[in-house]
């Protein structure tokens, strides 16, 4: 069985302008795949094309099946999507929001899952709170709990399920960033697939197995963190010097960005 998420030759036009130019993408189940790149490079658009939320040219397949041939309920049973931002206009409790994942996922019949998912994202005890009253970071974790609830079991009928996350740690403190990335890792370790748009390149190096670097609507580099996160690639993609070092023993890359002004000052000046 094919257990990957694949996109071939994806092009997207938004507002009359082509913003993705023939992108190829592969993510394997059992792995965390990170999509990184500067603001506006097309990360969200690529995710939205792959989840069918924007019209696109090209083909997307999930576990070897062309997603165009699947009904929305079939897709909802195998992959859950956390958008970059979610606005909820009505007064829902936290538990009501998370339970939306239960109904979307169909196969997650166990009604204890929403409470377990809340505990996983560090929100045990928040079930009865009003969603609107929570901080941005807490709301983001409620949304993640909803998404995890939808595809709670990483493998169903021998097929992997998929977590598709757009900047899941964007407004989280460092402790909760690790909570969420640990969750992503363990989902992949149990056989599921994880595709996440990431901004923090150090977290990406720590948690991703595979990195896709986007630039101006195209894939600039793809491979392991060590292959993609190099001085040359990052300088040309992000337009500023980002010295990359490595930590023993795994030679994991880590980045120590320096302000341009600091780089410009020579010793003795
Ligand atoms: N609805 C839209 N209409 C016109 N342009 C858009 C629209 N949505 C996004 N874009 C443009 O497409 C490009 C890619 O956006 P996006 O995928 O959101 O970037 P990223 O997630 O990498 O920051 C940007 O230049 C953005 O301005
Ligand atoms: Mg984005």
Q: Note the pLDDT tens digit of each residue in 210-225.
A: 999 999 999 999 999 9
Does a structural domain hold residue 213?
Answer: yes
Counted domains in the chain: 1
Helix (H, G, I), strand (E, B) or coil at 192: coil
Q: Which atom in ligand 1 lies closest to the alpha carbon of residue 84?
A: 21
- Tell me if 215 CB under 6 Å of ligand 1: no
**What is the pLDDT at residue 253?**
86
Looking at beta carbons, which pairs linking 102-105 to residues 24 or more positions away fall under 8 Å? 102/149, 102/150, 104/76, 104/80, 104/150, 105/76, 105/77, 105/80, 105/149, 105/150, 105/151, 105/152
Confidence band for 160, pLDDT divided at 50, 70 and 90:
very high
CATH number at residue 259: 3.40.50.300
Task: Assess if residue 151 is contained within a domain.
Answer: yes
Mutation pick for ligand 1 pocket among 18, 40, 165 (CB with most ligand atoms within 8 Å): 40
Predicted confidence band of residue 259 (pLDDT cuts 50, 70, 90):
low
Residue 111, class by beta-carbon neighbours within 10 Å (0-12 exposed, 13-18 middle, 19+ buried)? exposed
15 CB within 6 A, ligand 1:
yes
Whole-number pLDDT of residue 245: 84
Residue 44 lies in a domain: yes
82 lies in some domain: yes
Residue 213's DSSP bridge partners are: 36, 221
More reliable by pLDDT, 89 or 173: 173
Query: Cα–chain-centroid distance for residue 254?
Result: 20
Domain that holds residue 198: 4-264
Task: Grade residue 108 by pLDDT with cuts at 50, 70 and 90.
Answer: low
- The atom of ligand 1 lying closest to the CA of 166 is 21
Mean pLDDT of the chain: 91
Give the helix ranges, DSSP H, for the chain: 43-50, 72-78, 94-105, 113-120, 136-150, 174-189, 201-207, 225-228, 231-238, 260-264
Section 102-116 average pLDDT:
75
Q: How far apart are CA 112 and CA 118, in angstroms?
A: 10
CB 31 within 8 A of CB 207: no
Report how far residue 54's alpha carbon sits from residue 66's, in angstroms, rounded to the nearest whole number: 16
Q: Report if residue 269 sits inside a domain.
A: no
48-90 pLDDT tens trace: 999 999 999 999 999 999 999 999 989 999 999 999 887 887 8
Higher pLDDT, 196 or 72: 196
Give the pLDDT of residue 2. Answer: 87
3-state secondary structure of 234: helix
């Amino acid at each position: 069985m094919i257990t990957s998420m694949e996109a071939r030759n994806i092009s997207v036009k938004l507002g009359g302008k082509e913003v993705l130019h023939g992108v190829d993408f592969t993510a394997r189940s059992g792995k965390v795949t990170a999509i990184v790149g500067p603001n506006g490079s097309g990360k969200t658009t690529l995710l939205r094309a792959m989840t069918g939320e924007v019209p696109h040219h090209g083909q997307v397949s999930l576990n070897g099946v062309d997603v165009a041939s699947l009904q929305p309920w079939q897709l909802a049973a195998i992959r859950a999507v956390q958008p970059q931002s979610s606005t909820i206009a009505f007064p829902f409790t936290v538990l009501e929001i998370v339970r939306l994942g239960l109904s979307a996922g169909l196969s997650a019949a166990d009604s204890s899952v929403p409470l377990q998912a809340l505990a996983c994202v560090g929100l045990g005890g928040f079930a009865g709170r009003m969603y609107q009253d929570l901080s941005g970071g807490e709301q983001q974790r409620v949304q993640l709990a909803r998404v995890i609830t939808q595809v709670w079991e990483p493998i169903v009928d021998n097929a992997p399920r998929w977590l598709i996350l757009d900047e899941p740690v964007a407004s989280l403190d460092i402790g909760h960033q690790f909570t969420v990335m640990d969750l992503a890792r363990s989902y992949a370790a149990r056989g599921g697939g994880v595709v996440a748009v990431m901004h923090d390149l150090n977290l990406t190096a720590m948690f991703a197995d595979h990195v896709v670097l986007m630039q101006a609507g195209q894939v600039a580099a793809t491979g392991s963190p060590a292959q993609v996160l190099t001085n040359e690639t990052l300088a040309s993609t992000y337009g500023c010097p980002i010295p990359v070092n490595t930590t023993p023993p795994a030679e994991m890359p880590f980045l120590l960005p320096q302000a341009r002004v600091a780089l410009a000052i020579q010793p003795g000046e």
